[in-house]
Structure 1
Amino acid sequence: MDNSYSTKYLLLLWSGCIALVVAVGCVLGHAGMPSERVTTCVDGVVHRLSCELSGVISVQTSRYGAEDSAACNDGRKAEISNATCSDVAVVDIVKKKCNGKRVCELSSSDLGVSGGCRGTTKYLHTTYTCLSAFHHVTCEHSLAHLQCGEEQVILVYRAEYGRRDHTTCIHGRPDSQIQNINCLNPTSKVAERCDGKNSCLIKAGNSEFGDPCYGTYKYLEVAYTCSYSQDQCSWCGHHHYSGSSEAMLLFRLSSTMWLAAVCLFMASAVSTETVTTCGDASIAHRLECEDGVISVQSALYGRANKVICSEGRPPQQTSNTGCSQSGTRNFVKTRCNGKKMCEISTNDVNSPDPCTGTYKYLQTNFTCLPAIHLIVCENSYAHLYCDRGQVISVFGADYGRQDKAVCYASRPPSQVENVYCSNPTQIVAQSCDGKNSCSIRVSNSVFGDPCVGTYKYLQLSYVCEYPTFG
């Protein structure tokens, strides 16, 4: 949507800053972060750790066994006489699999400790915290942009190149290239290249990280934080941390959150993210906001720089720096604005060729605006509501399907396969803008049917604001 939201942004920034200062006070007022606990009682059942709302996982403890007679016994007395059932520390294995991720799923069989202890009630118990770190996913053949605020430096917490799910970086890829989800390759190269720098650019590709699974389309997943280096902080020298990297990261995050809260009050705009995808083939271009929704600022398909995406290219393919495809910005805005995650393909914007013979790239600059994001399945009702005295302002809405993994439970495959069904709609804004609350039915009778036979959903984002008068 192209409406001006400058006043809304300032109001949202102000309320966001107040909330952040309160949150920071809570963090700094405690010696550590609150812990989450997960206990899984049956061998082979999924043990799921999640920091989907904010941050990344940092495992504190993890044990497998049956030493606690009260755990997972459903009122029965656990049989723990078998010595092989004693509590076994598996924290190092769980840390390796889960630290630095937003979601992690595993089972006791993944730990090499399942089986045995017949007749004994066993369990897998993990405690973890959600660290406030940046989490970036960059599709293969794209450039990962890591960046911090002024005078801050990067600290990489975890980086992994490969594939571990069927839903990330899949746009335009054949099924054969996304089936292998057991392709995990933790790498220290991102930390070696980026730690201590204010910003860093690294290509997500086999040339940089090797090929852990030939024939699979991969992505780079990075978790990092921004900290003030010791020589830039006069009071940092009074604190000495000789413990684990998690303890150091916790201290840096606490100080960074405090300083970031102060800076937010002084900022006139939200920070900008950049995604760059190299090449002319059908390559996924992924925008994502962990908090808030996407607002595209600019988008270029072509070439405006001799250095970007120039690796291995002869000079004649990178010399034309005045090459751009008209309409790219509007296309990306239409597809992505108001969403938490958006994947498009270079094939969506590469025709007609704006400059034959030039090696091109797709680069998008976007901000993450604080907004409420809803996904409502077909034949349900979308309920939008604000606090007393506030009114709804819809930022964007789409009816259709762009993801196989959304609103798919109990649906036959034929109804969720079409992920190229997108219908931006103004109906939600027309029905709900200016109201304190609003309900709208998600159905073809309201929004039309953009893809007959496909089970659809409504995806929308909105903000609550105080009305202005005069």
Structure 2
Amino acid sequence: MAIKQLILFCCIAVTVYASSQYSVGKVTKCEGQQIDIRCGNQEINILYARYGSPSYGDCGASHYFPSNCEAANSLAVVRQKCQGKKNCWVKAHNDVFGDPCVGVRKSLTIHYTCVDYEIVGACEGKQIDIRCGSGKTINILYAIYGANFGSLCTNSFDPWNAACYARNSFQVTRNKCQGKQNCWVKAHNDVFNRVCRGRPQHALDVHYRCVRGQLAFACENKQVDIRCPSGTTINILSAFYGRNNQQGCRNPIQQTRFGLIIRSPCSATNALQVAKNACNGKHNCWIKARDNVFNIPCQNGPKKHLEVEFECRKH
């Protein structure tokens, strides 16, 4: 579903229509100006931030400046002001970031996405803590432990190290957190398979949702089986069939400067209705995760999955 994002470039407001999970907002402002980020009903996820000498052509720069003119706290400052919020603003000023290069006019550049799930991260040696409110449980969508993905701990990114991540990242995190109200996971080589030898900085990046029902999951061509105890019947709360940021079916993933994404996202518009028709009011039911069951718009490509959120209601 297309959403409207407002991205402010220097002195012009530009409206962009894009997919909420896969578009990256990029905005640059000159020293003394302010960046405003708005995500509507979604939350801001900061991917990259740099306050320092401008790139060639930005803010009137007619030549290249030394690349080491950059505030080391750029990412930390912007994340503190914006991460997880619906709206935020950051001023491009030495009072906010300090002055990394005296006498040089600077600029602030921020890359971000608007997301409809929660994001937590931790640098190597630290831990993530996930807490869902009363009556809700954790659903892990994505987890990667590797070489500082998405510039989580610093602004550095090594394209030659793009494949450097622990293949057991998702399964380890899911085993520790899935279906629980609270959990914690340490970003450490003792927990995950060490894969980036010689690299000084690893990071753990986790995406999740807090859900109020139980979850049933099946990869394409399998089926979900839902059963409720005696004296209760099934009530479907939500359903998804397609491809999104959920891991678990060995979906091919693509490394970008902005982290790992699932290629070719798509979803069936009738998933909720199909699930309700098959299960609502019954003690047990099953649904096949197949294209001929849903009106799926992407017939070919990486494997899809079916996820159903439900509750068991008393008569």
User: Shorter-chain TM-score: what band?
Assistant: 0.3 to 0.5
TM-score w.r.t. structure 1 length?
0.25
Give the structure-2-normalised TM-score.
0.37
Query: Structure 1 or 2: larger strand share?
Result: 2
**Higher-helix-fraction structure:** 1
Greater radius of gyration (CA)? 1
The structure with higher relative contact order (CA 8 Å, sep 6+) is 2
